[in-house]
Structure 1
Amino acid sequence: MEKPDQDSLFVSELTLAQAKMRNYLAKLLANSSSTDDVLQECNKVLWVKRSDWDPQTIFLKWAYRVCFFQVKAYLRNQSREKLVFNGELLDILGKEEPDESASKERQEAMNKCLRKIDSKERNLLLERYQGEISVEKLANREGIQPNTLSQKLLRLRHQLLNCIQSNLKTI
């Protein structure tokens, strides 16, 4: 996957995961007022390490691991100032896995939204991202400039993302 495409997918996944990451952090931090600060640090670390994420894996599982280690770092820093959870309790709380049903809901929402897109445009998306055909090859086949196709794919991805987010809000 090309870097701009992977960054766009990363931002989409990160955006969708924010509420669950915040809830996970709130649980680990016992609803501390520091939850939002730690979430912000997690977002920074995730952004810096975004190239380590494999889009074929569950984003939330990877994000939870980063959150877990950020909480450990935060608590280590706080322990110098006051009493906090011991590491053993944090290890027990940190074993939570992302809800698999949420992943299924996202997949169902994506399939529903894909069906709403014109068949020619849907086929372009599927060929590009499932078939992993380069933009250049696909553009040549379609008889358009690669830049034009890239812009079209970007608009389609945004349309798909907005539809998926809208569908997930109603669930």
Structure 2
Amino acid sequence: MRELNVLWTQSHGAVLSYIRSIVVDFHRADDVLQETAATVAEKFDEYDRTLPFAPWALGIAKFKVLEYLRSSSRDRLVFSEEVAESIAGAFSELQIKASDTEIALEQCVSRVRGRPRKLLEMRYLRQTSVEDVAQATGMTSTAVRVALHRIRKSLLQCLQDQLPGLYGGNHLPRGRQ
């Protein structure tokens, strides 16, 4: 149950966005979301854990949206089933890319060691202000900002190296890291 809660929490925004992109009435969209959540919970044992969760949940949402479209077929403001399926495919693709980026970012961050790692953790995991990070590390605020900028730039380069397709092959010049 905990696994389902974590996965649903991570995917909830994408599922809701997909539903609301097609179901224009917010109340009906919330109804479709509730039906989707119930079906996801009922069918969670069937979920293949080797595949990303969000596209699976979006697939269920797509069927719930299609059911809604069929029941509302007389409403002039309803999308066709083909449009709904096309939008679902786009959302699934975006979620897969987001999952790939998260995995790549975790790998890139795991390579950061020493003081840069400490700065990242203080600033972004603990959400410590730059001034407090500076005080805790004995650095100036300006030095912390510069170091964080360099670390972020290095992480971006790492992401671009790991996922060139997502960045159109654009890489930062090696000499400017």
Q: What TM-score do you get using the length of structure 1 for normalisation?
A: 0.54
Larger radius of gyration: 2
1:150 alignment counterpart: none
Which of 25, 33, 58 lines up with 1:32 in the alignment?
25
| Structure 1 residue 13 displacement after superposition | 0.7
2:5 alignment counterpart: 11
CA RMSD of aligned residues (A): 2.8
Identity of aligned residues (%): 24
1:160 alignment counterpart: none
2:73 alignment counterpart: 79
Q: Which runs of 5+ in 1 are unaligned?
A: 1-6, 116-162
2:97 corresponds to 1:101: yes
- Larger relative contact order, structure 1 or 2 (CA cutoff 8 Å, min sep 6): 1
> What are the residue-to-residue correspondences of 1:2-151 with 2, within 5 Å?
7-29=1-23, 31-33=24-26, 34-79=28-73, 82-83=75-76, 84-96=78-90, 97-99=92-94, 100-108=96-104
Q: What TM-score do you get using the length of structure 2 for normalisation?
A: 0.52
Q: Which runs of 5+ in 2 are unaligned?
A: 112-120, 126-177
**TM-superposition CA deviations, 1:76-129 (whole Å, max 9, x none):** 12226x3332323323333222323310343256668989xxxxxxxxxxxxxx
| Structure 1 residue 27 displacement after superposition | 1.5
Distance verdict in 2 for CA 1:16–1:78, change over 3 Å: same
Task: Verify the 8 A CA contact 1:39 1:67 in the aligned structure 2.
Answer: yes
User: Would you say how many aligned residue pairs link Structure 1 and Structure 2?
Assistant: 110
In the aligned structure 2, how far is the partner of 1:39 from the partner of 1:113? 34
In the aligned structure 1, how far is the partner of 2:86 from the partner of 2:57? 17
Distance verdict in 2 for CA 1:76–1:15, change over 3 Å: same
Task: Verify the 8 A CA contact 2:22 2:79 in the aligned structure 1.
Answer: no
